[in-house]
């Protein structure tokens, strides 16, 4: 397989290495997955560097490579960091070393994929032996999501359960904040149209991103809710969209608009890779894994910046805030809006009521006595 990409002498040099046969098998896998020629040309030399690095440290079998992967990537970054003038450039260098090494190990060593998956799972609660019930309390009594629990304080809980005699939370100096102090970071509908118009819907990634952003701005979905969308959630017969496992702990069934439906159909039929995966949104390059919530947010950020929209902290929540603000401006009751977008607390919706552009404009123009 290597001879399809490299000159005979280069292939001979590769195959003379102890890691050569594994690289050739990996290249065959890349070809079957539809990877571009340029990807193979970049990754094989990096794997040769990794093989030599491992050989010097005594490795002679693939099973001995996983413990060396992290140190190889770290050393590669360190040796090339001087030519990186930005954090973005440093990330590129890291990806150039990490992607081929880790992917080859996943392909060639099934046990490595299992270990990597376990390592990526949530770490155990650090106080499991003393306050094992705290995560359960936050989940069942407080209704918090897993992401929130990982960052949540627990001093009051310790006092409540008798682990601490005093409520230590009272001596913690919290940053001062004021209720409803912030203004939602929404954008105008003209800016939304500018962002959507800037998406190249002729490409698979454009079709996917366009559908994802329509879901964000039309229904006010969170990034994780878009990433978790499955084919089972799309009821084409009744034009309904199901949003399960919302942050508030409930599921929502929403009408599937014709615009969103058309964008989803266009992506699924003409942009989505052929896969048995039930999740709707996939990466556009092999091995076509499902996108995560961070991928949804980063694509939204990219689209906003590319369109030149000056949003504060641009991301997926920019579209969510815009959806809520649009409903507030249309005079929908806050309770209805909260149910629509899945707010857990009424306070999350109430903050949008403080920004009523039309009424403020009337007051500023001097004709707002009736409004006041």
**Is 123 in the active site?**
no
160 is catalytic: no
- In degrees to the nearest 10, what's the CA dihedral of 141, 147, 149, 153? -130
Distance of CA 247 to the CA centre of its chain: 16
Which CA distances in Å does 73 have to 53, 83, 115, 280? 11, 16, 18, 33
Instruction: Report how far apart the first and last C-alpha atoms of the chain are (Å, whole number).
Output: 76
User: Angle 316-329/293-306 helices, nearest 10 degrees?
Assistant: 70
Q: 87-108 vs 110-120: helix axis angle to the nearest 10?
A: 130
For residue 247, indicate whether it is catalytic. Answer: yes
Catalytic residue among 208, 272, 321, 343: 343
- Residue located via tokens 């556009």: 284
What is the phi/psi pair of residue 285, to 5°? Answer: -120, 150
- The active-site residue, picked from 224, 247, 299, 321, is 247
- Buried-state track 144-177, b at ≥16 Cβ within 10 A, e below 16: bbeeebeeeebbebbbeeeeeeeeeeeeeeeeee
Question: Which structure tokens are listed for 271?
Answer: 């942009």
The answer to whether 315 and 301 are in contact (CB under 8 A) is yes
Total number of residues shown for the chain: 372
Catalytic residue among 222, 299, 321, 326: 222
Where residue 203 falls (left for φ over 0; alpha for ψ -120 to 50; beta otherwise) is: beta
One of 98, 317, 321, 326 is an active-site residue; which one? 317
Q: What is the CB neighbour count within 10 angstroms for residue 231? A: 11
Task: Please report the DSSP string for 283-316 in residue order.
Answer: -SSTT-PBP-HHHHHHHHHHHHHHTT---SS-SH
How far from 328 is each of 92, 188, 340, CA to CA, in Å? 42, 13, 12
Residue 343 annotated among the catalytic residues of the structure: yes
Q: Is 222 a catalytic residue?
A: yes
- Which residue out of 26, 210, 219, 352 is catalytically annotated? 352
Catalytic residue among 43, 201, 299, 320: 320
d(CA 73, CA 79): 10
Catalytic residue list: 222, 247, 317, 320, 343, 352
């Amino acid at each position: 397989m290597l001879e399809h990409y490299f000159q005979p002498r280069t292939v001979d040099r590769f195959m003379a290495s102890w890691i050569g046969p594994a690289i050739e098998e990996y290249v065959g896998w890349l070809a079957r997955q539809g990877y571009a020629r340029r990807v193979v040309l970049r990754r094989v030399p990096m794997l040769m560097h990794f093989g030599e690095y491992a050989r010097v440290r005594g490795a002679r079998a693939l099973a001995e490579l996983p413990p060396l992967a992290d140190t190889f990537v770290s050393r590669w970054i360190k040796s090339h960091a001087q030519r990186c003038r930005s954090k973005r450039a440093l990330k590129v260098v890291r990806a150039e070393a990490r992607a081929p090494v880790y992917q080859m190990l996943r392909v060639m060593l099934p046990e490595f994929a299992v270990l990597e998956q376990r390592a990526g799972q949530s770490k155990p609660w650090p106080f499991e032996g003393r306050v094992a019930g705290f995560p359960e309390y936050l989940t069942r009594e407080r209704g918090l999501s897993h992401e929130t629990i990982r960052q949540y304080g627990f001093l009051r809980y310790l006092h409540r359960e008798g682990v601490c005699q005093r409520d230590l939370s009272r001596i913690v100096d919290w940053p001062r904040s004021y209720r409803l102090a912030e203004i939602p970071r929404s954008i105008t509908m003209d800016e939304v149209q500018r962002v959507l118009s800037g998406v190249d819907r002729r490409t698979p990634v454009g079709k996917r991103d366009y559908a994802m952003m329509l879901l964000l701005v039309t229904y006010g979905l969170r990034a994780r809710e878009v990433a978790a969308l499955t084919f089972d959630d799309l009821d084409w017969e009744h034009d309904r969209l199901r949003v399960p496992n919302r942050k508030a702990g409930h599921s929502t069934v929403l009408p599937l608009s014709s615009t969103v439906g058309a964008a989803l159909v266009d992506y699924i039929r003409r942009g989505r890779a052929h896969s048995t995966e039930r999740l709707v949104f996939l990466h556009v390059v092999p091995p076509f894994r499902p996108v995560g919530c961070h991928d949804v947010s980063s694509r939204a950020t990219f689209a906003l910046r590319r369109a030149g929209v000056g949003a504060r902290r641009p991301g997926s929540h920019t579209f969510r805030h815009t959806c809520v603000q649009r409903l507030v401006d249309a005079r929908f009751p806050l309770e209805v809006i909260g149910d629509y977008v899945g707010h857990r607390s009424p306070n999350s919706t109430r903050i949008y009521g403080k920004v009523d552009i039309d009424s403020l404009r009337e007051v500023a123009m001097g004709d707002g006595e009736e409004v006041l």
